[in-house]
């Protein structure tokens, strides 16, 4: 019935404007729409992942998102995809201090890791400006320091593409190519990102088995200090206050003392304060996940620290005072050289590259 | 519209009204406004208050509660919420502090009530639970509220920074009182007579004065002496703070 109406409409339009080239073949209803829920893996130690009720992942939705994520079609000159700055082999970061967009323009923040990103249930980005993955995926496309495109142009390319219309039909049940929108494209990207679950690090082995013997002595010492485990005879490193749980982040925003921000009147990158407008949020950033941290340097929101050893030296020696320095870091951290090495060794147990053997995490175009 | 249609519509309306009185249970709405004060004034997060001879800014106050219910005169109760979480971290303006954190509960039986009760913290049925037992849309999945070293939830975080040397940075002392452990819960019962009515919201302020919570033996806790509650030799402080919370909630 719908099909006949559409065809009728098409003829009508065609009849009215004989000189123009009229696309009347946008109909997709002959392609079956049979959505099947995508089962998001549930690793030991993780909470179960809640999904938004208006965007529950389906097999076809995740697959569409997988293609979109790796497709440069999203950028103005078709040179950059999401994966250009979120490379699977670097924990889905780009190895740069700050990212570079298609024009060569540099952004002012460092790319962020996306493995297990579906477990973030608060503001995304270093400054929390995006409430969820669907909203986040809107932004890189039109960012002049990233893909520098317009959504209107992206919608046009996707509608005229040989395979995407069929994939959108299978994912979202649209009846016509013209129904391909930024809203659906970002939903598919978000579905794919939620499916990027991987938890096969040494730390995961311990979480799953409860057997701390999996750690070397050095790693275990690092674990004790990281989590302030009493009775180990080792000093507290206080890390767990902000990086904890299976995802190794408490998903909250802090000033961890990177700079001497004093009374907060002179702050270069305002971070969370720019988003909330709250004075004492100036200079606060998200305590990011430490999963795969070995692969995701340089570190911090602006990539100012090169190595994990230097990160630990920073927490040990150079936490700067400020009106909003987090109180959990007030007493400072006081580790000797071998204890600092143990802390680094523990962080390296968070490395999980097993997903690189899984095509689901790699470009579908190769 | 013709006459028959009007008549049949009318009978429909009459029919509906005739049905409704037996079926409907009359219900009302309660709004609980949780408010923080310090020495009798609204507590604005990150604003300065006197503390002994120093100045204090509170940067964090949050807590988990469970078994929230309204108490009735006949000894029965009406359940409102199994587990909830209040984070005062954003009450950083005078207006936000005066408004407090508001929770609304609808479809409650109307009538007379005598009080409100809840568990400050999680009762012992949650002792073996971890964030992995919950979904990411449940506050108990929050890793920041779980104390790995103790294997318990941190049911309350109270953090403050102090100024004593006059440089205005409030970094001369601090405390992080994170309350957790196997016995870190208290039943709070607040006496307050009120009625729930069919049309109208009954609004009740539940006020906690942090200055009273921090008084141990009539002295404000010294942050220079007691910075945190992270070691087992500080369990007494967790317990004393919770005992204070148990008696200091006031309904207004």
Residues of B within 8 A of A324 (CB-CB) are 46, 59
pLDDT of the residue at B19: 41
Encode pLDDT of B24-60 as tens digits.
Answer: 679 999 999 999 999 999 999 999 999 999 999 999 9
pLDDT of the residue at A5: 37
B216 by Cβ neighbours in 10 Å (0-12 / 13-18 / 19+) ranks as: middle
Contacts for A138 with CB less than 8 Å, ≥ 6 apart: A151, A182, A186
Domain with CATH 1.10.760.10 in chain A: 24-37+56-197, 202-352
Q: What is the mean pLDDT of residues A348-355?
A: 98
Residue contact A119–B46, C-beta within 8 A: no
Encode pLDDT of A195-222 as tens digits.
Answer: 999 999 999 999 999 999 999 999 999 9
* Helix (H) or strand (E) segment spanning residue A204: helix A202-209
Contacts for A83 with CB less than 8 Å, ≥ 6 apart: A69, A70, A363
* Helix (H) or strand (E) segment spanning residue B69: strand B54-72
Q: What is the mean pLDDT of residues A314-334?
A: 94
Q: How many CA atoms lie within 13 Å of B19's alpha carbon, on the beta-carbon side?
A: 6
* Helix (H) or strand (E) segment spanning residue A3: helix A2-16
Lowest mean pLDDT across A21-25, A223-227, A229-233, B72-76: A21-25
Q: What is the maximum alpha-carbon separation in chain B?
A: 87
Mutation site, B169, B175, B181, interface A, largest A CB count within 10 A: B169
pLDDT of the residue at B24: 65
Kindly list the domain boundaries of chain B, sorted by start residue: 32-251
CA distance B152 to B141: 13
pTM of the model: 0.92
CA distance B164 to B175: 14
pLDDT of the residue at A121: 83
Encode pLDDT of A43-57 as tens digits.
Answer: 999 999 999 999 999
The C-alpha angle with vertex B115 and arms to B113 and B119, in degrees rounded to 5, equals 135
Dihedrals phi, psi of A257, to nearest 5 degrees:
85, 25
Q: How many CB pairs under 8 A join A and B?
A: 97
Question: Does A115 score more than 90 pLDDT?
Answer: yes
Q: How many CA atoms lie within 13 Å of A126's alpha carbon, on the beta-carbon side?
A: 21
Residues of B within 8 A of A321 (CB-CB) are 169, 171
pLDDT of the residue at B25: 78
Residues of B within 8 A of A232 (CB-CB) are none
ipTM of the complex: 0.89
Give the three-state DSSP class for A131: coil
Residue contact B134–A119, C-beta within 8 A: no
Nearest CA among A267, A342, A266, A351 for reference residue A302: A267
Dihedrals phi, psi of B5, to nearest 5 degrees:
-60, -45
1-30 in chain A: CB under 8 A from chain B: none
Residue contact A323–B149, C-beta within 8 A: no
Mean pLDDT of chain A: 93
pLDDT of the residue at B149: 87
Residue contact B144–A321, C-beta within 8 A: no
Inter-residue contact B225 to B219 (CB < 8 Å): no
Inter-residue contact B176 to B4 (CB < 8 Å): no
Integer angstrom CA distances of residue A60 from A170, A172, A184? 6, 8, 12
Note whether A321 contacts B: Cβ–Cβ < 8 A: yes
At residue A24 the predicted structure's pLDDT band, cuts being 50, 70 and 90, is low
58-97 in chain A: CB under 8 A from chain B: none
Domain spanning A24-37+56-197: which CATH class is it, in words? mainly alpha
Residue contact B46–A227, C-beta within 8 A: no
Q: What is the mean pLDDT of residues A18-29?
A: 66
Encode pLDDT of A260-285 as tens digits.
Answer: 999 999 999 999 999 999 999 999 99
At residue A32 the predicted structure's pLDDT band, cuts being 50, 70 and 90, is very high
Inter-residue contact A159 to A180 (CB < 8 Å): yes
Question: Does B15 score more than 60 pLDDT?
Answer: no
Encode pLDDT of A100-112 as tens digits.
Answer: 999 999 999 999 9
N- to C-terminal Cα separation, chain A: 41
CA distance A118 to A50: 8
Nearest Cβ partner for B169 among A244, A263, A331: A263
Nearest Cβ partner for A280 among B92, B148, B232: B92
Residue contact B143–A247, C-beta within 8 A: yes
Higher pLDDT, A14 or A113: A113
Residue contact B138–A47, C-beta within 8 A: yes
Question: In angstroms, what is the C-alpha Rg of chain B?
Answer: 23
Question: Does A22 score more than 60 pLDDT?
Answer: no
Q: What is the mean pLDDT of residues A324-350?
A: 96
Q: Which residue of A has its CA nearest to B153?
A: A245
Question: Does A11 score more than 80 pLDDT?
Answer: no
Residue B161, both tokens = 């920074």
Q: What is the mean pLDDT of residues A354-359?
A: 97
pLDDT of the residue at A304: 98
pLDDT of the residue at B17: 41
The CATH architecture assigned to A202-352 reads Orthogonal Bundle (1.10)
Question: Does B153 score more than 90 pLDDT?
Answer: yes
Residues of A within 8 A of B46 (CB-CB) are 279-280, 324
Q: What is the mean pLDDT of residues A161-177?
A: 98
Question: Does B166 score more than 60 pLDDT?
Answer: yes
Q: How far is B87 from chain A (nearest CA, A)?
A: 13
pLDDT of the residue at B169: 87
């Amino acid at each position: 019935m719908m099909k006949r109406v559409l065809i009728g409409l098409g003829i009508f339009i065609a009849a009215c404007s004989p000189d123009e080239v009229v696309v009347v073949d946008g109909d997709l209803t002959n392609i079956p729409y049979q959505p099947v829920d995508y089962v998001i893996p549930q690793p030991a130690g993780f909470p179960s992942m809640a999904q938004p009720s208006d965007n529950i992942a389906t097999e076809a939705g995740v697959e569409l998102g997988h293609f979109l994520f790796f497709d440069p079609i999203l950028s103005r000159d078709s040179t950059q995809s999401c994966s250009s700055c979120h490379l699977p082999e670097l924990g889905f970061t780009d190895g740069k201090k700050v990212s570079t967009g298609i024009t060569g323009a540099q952004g002012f923040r460092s790319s962020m890791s996306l493995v297990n990103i579906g477990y973030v249930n608060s503001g995304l980005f270093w400054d929390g400006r995006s409430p969820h993955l669907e909203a986040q995926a809107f932004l890189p496309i039109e960012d002049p320091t990233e893909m520098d495109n317009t959504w209107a142009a992206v919608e046009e390319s996707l509608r005229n593409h040989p395979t995407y219309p069929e994939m959108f039909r299978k994912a979202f049940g649209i009846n016509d190519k013209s129904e391909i929108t930024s809203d659906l494209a970002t939903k598919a990207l978000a579905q794919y990102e939620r499916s990027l679950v991987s938890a096969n690090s040494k730390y995961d082995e311990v979480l799953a088995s409860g057997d701390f013997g999996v750690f070397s002595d050095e790693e275990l010492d690092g674990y004790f200090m990281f989590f302030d485990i009493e009775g180990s005879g080792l000093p507290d490193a206080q890390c767990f206050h902000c990086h904890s749980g299976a995802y190794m982040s408490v998903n909250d925003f802090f000033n961890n003392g990177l700079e001497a921000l004093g009374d907060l009147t002179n702050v270069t990158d305002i971070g969370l304060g720019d988003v909330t407008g709250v004075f004492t949020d100036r200079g606060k950033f998200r305590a990011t996940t430490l999963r795969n941290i070995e692969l995701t340097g340089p570190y911090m929101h602006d990539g100012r620290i090169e190595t994990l050893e230097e990160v630990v030296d920073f927490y040990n020696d150079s936490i700067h005072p400020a009106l909003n320095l987090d109180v959990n870091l007030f007493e400072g951290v006081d580790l000797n050289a071998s204890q600092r090495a143990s802390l680094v060794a523990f962080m390296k147990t968070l490395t999980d590259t097993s997903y690189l053997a899984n095509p689901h995490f790699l470009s579908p175009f190769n | 519209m013709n006459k028959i249609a009007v008549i049949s519509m009318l009978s429909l309306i009459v029919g509906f009204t005739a049905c409704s009185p037996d079926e409907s249970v009359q219900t009302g709405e309660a709004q609980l406004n949780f408010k923080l004060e310090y020495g009798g004034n609204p507590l604005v997060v990150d604003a300065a208050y006197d503390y002994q001879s120093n100045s204090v800014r509170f940067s964090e106050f949050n807590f988990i509660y469970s078994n929230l219910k309204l108490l009735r005169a006949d000894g029965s109760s009406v359940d409102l919420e199994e587990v909830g979480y209040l984070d005062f971290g954003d009450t950083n303006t005078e207006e936000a502090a005066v408004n407090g954190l508001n929770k609304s509960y609808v479809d409650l039986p109307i009538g007379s009530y005598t009080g409100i009760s809840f568990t400050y913290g999680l009762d012992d049925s949650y002792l073996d639970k971890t964030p992995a037992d919950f979904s990411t849309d449940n506050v108990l999945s929050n890793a920041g509220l779980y104390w790995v070293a103790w294997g318990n939830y941190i049911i309350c975080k109270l953090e403050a920074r102090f100024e004593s040397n006059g440089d205005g940075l409030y970094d001369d002392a601090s405390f992080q009182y994170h309350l957790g452990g196997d016995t870190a819960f208290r039943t709070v019962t607040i006496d307050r007579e009120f009625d729930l009515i069919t049309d109208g919201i009954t609004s009740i302020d539940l006020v906690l004065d942090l200055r009273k919570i921090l008084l141990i033996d009539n002295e404000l806790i010294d942050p220079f002496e007691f910075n945190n509650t992270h070691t087992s030799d500080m369990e007494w402080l967790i317990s004393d703070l919770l005992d204070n919370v148990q008696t200091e909630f006031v309904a207004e």
